[in-house]
A = this chain, B = another copy of it.
Amino acid sequence: MSDILGQQFIDGQRSALGRETLHSVDASSGQALPYVFHQASDQEVTLAVAAATRAFAPFRQLSPARRADFLQAIADEIDGLGEDFIALVCRETALPEGRIRGERSRTSGQLRLFAQVLKRGDFLGARIDQALPERIPLPRADIRQYRIGVGPVAVFGASNFPLAFSTAGGDTASALAAGCPVVFKAHSGHMATADCVANAIVRAAQRTGMPSGVFNMIYGAGVGQALVKAEGIKAVGFTGSLKGGRALSDLAAARPQPIPVFAEMSSINPVIILPQALAIRGDQIAEELTASVNLGCGQFCTSPGLIIGLRSPQFSEFQQRFAQLMADQPAQTMLNAGALKSYGAGLKHIAGHGRVSHLAGQPQGERQAQPQLFKADVQLLLDGDPLLQEEIFGPATVLVEVDDPQQLRALLDSLHGQLTATLIAEPADLERFGELLPVLEDKVGRLLLNGYPTGVEVSDAMVHGGPYPATSDARGTSVGSLAIDRFLRPVCYQNYPDEYLPEALQNHNPLGLNRLVNGQWSRASLI
C-alpha cells in the first residue's frame, strides 16, 4: 500500500526527525515487509504531546454531538478501508481474514457505540443543587456539576487485537469520546496496520473539523516511557503484559504529577466445571473448552487458563477426553516472534515444575505454537505458589482437581484478580454451589455461566476489567461504554449565571439530559 509512510502522526502532519528505523514483519514467514518505520525521537514525543495539549481545550469544548460525528466518521473510514488493508493486517498478524473482517466490524461498532453514548449524554453526569437562599442556619448557593475530560491520554495498543484494541480501539475511542486528545504508541507487531488506521482517523478528523492535534501516533521501541513521563499526558490506557503494564503504572505513579493508568494485564480466567454439568454433558464441555482454549491461537486476554473440577470418575473421563481433543489440535502461527518466544518460555517454566504433569501436546516447535494441556497439583495454588497465577499467552491451559467443595472454596480464595470466572453448571449445581458466587464476584470483573470467556461483547453492560493483576485499577473497564468513565473528572460551578454555564447544566436543559436536580432525577427544564 503506497500511502504507508512510516512517519509519526503529529498535529495532522507526518514527521520523521529521528534516524532509527524499524521494519514490519510478515508474521507467518518472519520476512520483513516493504515498509520502513521511523522511530520517534524525543523531540517528536514532545511535539506529539504538545499537539494533543493544544487540541485539548478546543476539542473538549465541542458539543458531544460534534464529537459523535467525529467517532462516526472514523468508523466509516475504517469500514471503507479496502481489501488490500485486510490482506495487510493478515500478513502482519497471521490472523485469518474472517477474524480480521469481524474485528474491523467490532472496531467500527465500538466507535459508533461511543457516538451513541455521546448522544445519550449520561456520561456528563449532570447534577444540579439549586440555591436555597432562605435555608437556616446558612443559605445554600446554586451548585452544578458535570464531567469533563482529564486531558491528553497516552494509549498503548495490544498485539492481539490489531484493530479493536489498537490504534482506533476501545481506549482511543473512549478517550476521544471523553474529549481527550490521544497520543497513540503504535504496536511494533502491526505498524503498517497502525499507519493505515491512523490515516483513517486523521481523514475523519479533517472531514469533521476537529483540532489537528486530536490524534497523534508515534512509532518505536522504548518511546513509551518518554510518553508516559511527558507532563502534558494526563492518563494512560494500556493493554498488554503484566510486566509492561506494571512498569508503566510505576512510572506514572512516580511522576512529579502522578496520573491514572488503566492497564489491562494478566488473567488466567478460571473455568469451574461442576458435577451435574459434567455428568450430563462432559464430552460437550470438553469440546467447547478445547475450542475456547485454541480460539485465535489462545491469544485472548480472556482465554481459559485454569480448568477446575471436583475429583470423580466423571472428571477423570472428562480429563481423558479433553486431553485427547487438545492433542488433536493443530499448531497455529502466533502474532509475532516475541509472542512465540514468550509462549515457549512459559511452557518450559510450568512444565519444569515437579507438581505439574503434561497431559497433551506436541513438543513446542520453532515456528508455530503447539496446543498444550497440563495438570497441576491443587496444593500449588493453596500454598500460594505464583506459578499458576500468571497467564501463559497462547493455546495452553492447566487442569486442577479438587478433593471436595471445601477445597474448591479454598482454591478460589487463593486466586488473584481476574478478568473473568466461569461456572459450567446445571441448576442443581447452582443450588449446591451458589455460595461461590460472592467469592467469584470479589475476584473478577465478569462472571459467566455456561459460556466461555473468549468473546467479549462490546456493549453498555460489559466489564472487561477486574482486580489486580487483571488490571491496574479494578474501578474501570476497557471494553464497553463504561470505559469512558476512566477519562472523565467532575467539575462544579457555584453561583454562575445560566449563560456562563456549560450547556449540560443550563436551566432549559438544551441537551435534554436526565439530571439529578435537588436529589431527584429529572429531564425537566428548570425555567
Which A residues fall within an 8 A CB radius of B?
56-57, 61, 102, 116, 120, 122, 125, 127-129, 137-138, 140-141, 143-145, 148, 150-151, 249-250, 253-254, 257-258, 260, 416-417, 427, 430, 434, 437-439, 441-442, 444-451, 455, 457, 459-463, 465, 467-469, 472-477, 480, 482, 488-497, 500, 514, 516, 519, 521
A150 and B474 contact, CB distance less than 8 A:
yes
Cα distance, A448 to B497, chains bound together (Å):
11
Q: Which chain B residue has the least Cβ–Cβ distance from A444?
A: B491
B449 and A495 contact, CB distance less than 8 A:
yes
Cα distance, A427 to B254, chains bound together (Å):
43
Instruction: Tell which of B57, B417, B472, B492 touches A461, judged by Cβ atoms closer than 8 Å.
Output: B492
A447 and B143 contact, CB distance less than 8 A:
no
User: Given A430-B500, A521-B514, A461 and B144 touching (CB < 8 A)?
Assistant: yes
A509 to chain B, nearest CB (A): 15
Q: Which chain B residue has the least Cβ–Cβ distance from A102?
A: B137
A140 and B493 contact, CB distance less than 8 A:
no
Cα distance, A124 to B108, chains bound together (Å):
29
User: Given A450-B495, A451-B495, A461 and B253 touching (CB < 8 A)?
Assistant: no
A238 to chain B, nearest CB (A): 14
Instruction: Tell which of B151, B249, B434, B480 touches A500, judged by Cβ atoms closer than 8 Å.
Output: B434
User: Given A260-B473, A260-B475, A463-B145, A494 and B438 touching (CB < 8 A)?
Assistant: no
B446 and A482 contact, CB distance less than 8 A:
no
The 5 closest A-B pairs by CB, nearest first: A253-B253, A145-B461, A463-B492, A127-B461, A143-B461
Q: Identify which of A128, A473, A490 gathers the most chain B CB atoms within 10 Å of its CB.
A: A490
A465 and B446 contact, CB distance less than 8 A:
no
User: Given A129-B457, A150-B475, A521-B514, A463 and B490 touching (CB < 8 A)?
Assistant: yes
A462 and B492 contact, CB distance less than 8 A:
yes
Chain B residues with CB under 8 Å of A260's CB are 473, 475
- Copies of this chain present in the complex amount to 2
A468 and B253 contact, CB distance less than 8 A:
no
Question: Can you name 13 extra interface pairs (CB under 8 A) apart from A129-B457, A260-B475, A465-B490?
Answer: A61-B438, A122-B521, A141-B451, A141-B457, A143-B462, A148-B442, A249-B258, A257-B417, A445-B490, A449-B493, A457-B494, A463-B490, A463-B491
Cα distance, A463 to B496, chains bound together (Å):
15
A145 and B489 contact, CB distance less than 8 A:
no
Cα distance, A438 to B61, chains bound together (Å):
8
B492 and A447 contact, CB distance less than 8 A:
yes
A111 to chain B, nearest CB (A): 15
Chain B residues with CB under 8 Å of A143's CB are 457, 459, 461-462
Instruction: Tell which of B102, B467, B494, B519 touches A120, judged by Cβ atoms closer than 8 Å.
Output: B519
Cα distance, A458 to B305, chains bound together (Å):
47
Chain B residues with CB under 8 Å of A461's CB are 127-129, 143-145, 492, 516
Instruction: Tell which of B457, B462, B494 touches A449, judged by Cβ atoms closer than 8 Å.
Output: B494
Cα distance, A442 to B58, chains bound together (Å):
12
Q: Give 20 A-B contacts (CB < 8 Å), ordered by A residue.
A: A61-B438, A102-B137, A120-B519, A127-B461, A129-B460, A249-B258, A253-B253, A257-B416, A260-B475, A430-B497, A445-B489, A445-B490, A446-B494, A447-B492, A447-B493, A449-B496, A450-B495, A451-B494, A463-B491, A476-B490
Q: Which chain B residue has the least Cβ–Cβ distance from A492?
A: B463
Chain B residues with CB under 8 Å of A482's CB are 125, 127, 145, 490
Chain B residues with CB under 8 Å of A416's CB are 257
Cα distance, A475 to B469, chains bound together (Å):
22
Q: Which chain B residue has the least Cβ–Cβ distance from A246?
A: B258
Cα distance, A253 to B493, chains bound together (Å):
32
Q: Which chain B residue has the least Cβ–Cβ distance from A125?
A: B482
B446 and A500 contact, CB distance less than 8 A:
no
Chain B residues with CB under 8 Å of A495's CB are 448-451
A59 to chain B, nearest CB (A): 11
A442 and B249 contact, CB distance less than 8 A:
no
Chain B residues with CB under 8 Å of A490's CB are 445, 463, 465, 475-477, 482
User: Given A145-B462, A463-B491, A472 and B258 touching (CB < 8 A)?
Assistant: yes
Chain B residues with CB under 8 Å of A447's CB are 491-494, 496
User: Given A129-B459, A430-B500, A445 and B492 touching (CB < 8 A)?
Assistant: yes
Q: Which chain B residue has the least Cβ–Cβ distance from A235?
A: B475
Cα distance, A477 to B257, chains bound together (Å):
18
A468 and B258 contact, CB distance less than 8 A:
yes
B145 and A516 contact, CB distance less than 8 A:
no
Chain B residues with CB under 8 Å of A122's CB are 516, 521
User: Given A57-B442, A250-B253, A140 and B491 touching (CB < 8 A)?
Assistant: no
